[in-house]
Amino acid sequence: MAAYNVCHGISELFLVSLFVSSFVVASAGTFDGDCDIMWGDHRGKILDKGKLLTLSLDQISGSGFQSKREYLFGRIDMQLKLVSGNSAGTVTAYYLSSEGTNHDEIDFEFLGNLSGQPYIVHTNVYTQGKGEREQQFYLWFDPTKDFHTYSFVWNPQRIIFLVDNTPIRVFDNEESIGVPFPKSQPMKLYSSLWNADQWATRGGLVKTDWSKAPFTAYYRNFNANACVWSRGSSSCGSTSTSSPTPSGWQTKGLDANGRRRLKWVQKYFMIYNYCTDFKRFPQGRPRECRRAI
């Protein structure tokens, strides 16, 4: 995993990508090496020689883990298999966050549901402590049957949320029109499984069925192809993108196919967009919404 976290120079990255493509399994990181279980006692477990992490929730507590490292820009991928069966009232949060007041945060939250009813993927972006930028989606598959990859691409131009490599949301850097963008506070990756049956499922109407506890979510293949922040400096040196490296996240935007996929998701799977919630913003919608989304 350490190798994945390096983004110094072309030659090194070239070596890394060679290494990665030829020895994917051998070079895969482990949860013991990359993450710490932070709360929930025995409810968070690292299994299978560090290749699998599970979080569980019962009536007493949920559980959570976080990355050992902090990142300032990068691409973070993780495979998750969400709580199956009746997961109503449970929330699996998977997010990047800085610390302190005026923090930045990039969120995925998976809101559980009754058996056979669809999860909601809730997304949000906080900049300097302010969020209120929710977009919500259904998924085009059952996220409890198999592992699927949920990714953040975060570079100085934009944030892209991806599900199995399909972009579901793009948050552009609109500093030029006065919208703060997360670009100077390093973030760790966090995930937790907890109970939020006051609001999660059908707005709180459906409560958690504790007779089905413990609820369990599964994680594997954490990969941070990112600039690691340590003692005040970045493994990428200057965060300027003047010399983009082969891994591509540093300048990634959407190509024609990505734009087409994003439109498909927005048309068929988006169920809430703060930018079109005119009632919520009687004084005018947030600035970034006045641009074409």
Ligand X SMILES: *[C@@H]1O[C@H](CO)[C@@H](O)[C@H](O)[C@H]1NC(C)=O
- Looking at 8, 130, 145, 202, which residue binds ligand X (CB under 6 A)? 202
289 binds ligand X (CB under 6 A): no
Query: Would you say 113 or 127 has its CB closer to ligand X?
Result: 113
* Residue 210 CA: distances (Å) to CA of 79, 90, 226: 26, 11, 39
Under 8 Å between Cβ of 133 and 104 = no
- Looking at 54, 98, 155, 201, which residue binds ligand X (CB under 6 A)? 201
70 catalytically annotated? no
Query: Would you say 148 or 183 has its CB closer to ligand X?
Result: 148
Q: Cβ of residue 270: shortest distance to ligand X, in angstroms?
A: 12
- How many Cβ atoms from other residues are within 10 Å of residue 134's Cβ? 17
- Looking at 111, 125, 160, 168, which residue binds ligand X (CB under 6 A)? 111
Query: Would you say 123 or 127 has its CB closer to ligand X?
Result: 123
Q: Cβ of residue 112: shortest distance to ligand X, in angstroms?
A: 7
Under 8 Å between Cβ of 247 and 13 = yes
Q: Cβ of residue 136: shortest distance to ligand X, in angstroms?
A: 8
Q: Cβ of residue 148: shortest distance to ligand X, in angstroms?
A: 17
- How far apart, in whole angstroms, are the C-alpha atoms of residue 39 and residue 177? 40
Residues 6+ apart with CB under 8 A from 167: 160, 161, 254, 258, 261, 262, 265
Query: Would you say 135 or 245 has its CB closer to ligand X?
Result: 135
Under 8 Å between Cβ of 252 and 226 = no
- Looking at 17, 61, 117, 241, which residue binds ligand X (CB under 6 A)? 117
Q: Which stretch binds ligand X (CB under 6 A): 35-43, 57-65, 117-125, 180-188?
A: 117-125
Which of these is catalytic: 12, 70, 105, 175?
105
CA 163, 168, 174: angle at the middle one, nearest 5? Answer: 130
269 binds ligand X (CB under 6 A): no
99 catalytically annotated? no
- Residue 37 three-state SS: strand
Closest residue by Cα to residue 108 from 47, 149, 68, 53: 149
- How many Cβ atoms from other residues are within 10 Å of residue 210's Cβ? 14
Q: Cβ of residue 114: shortest distance to ligand X, in angstroms?
A: 7
* Interface positions with ligand X (CB under 6 A): 111, 113, 117-118, 120, 200-202
Hey, which residues are catalytic here? 105, 109
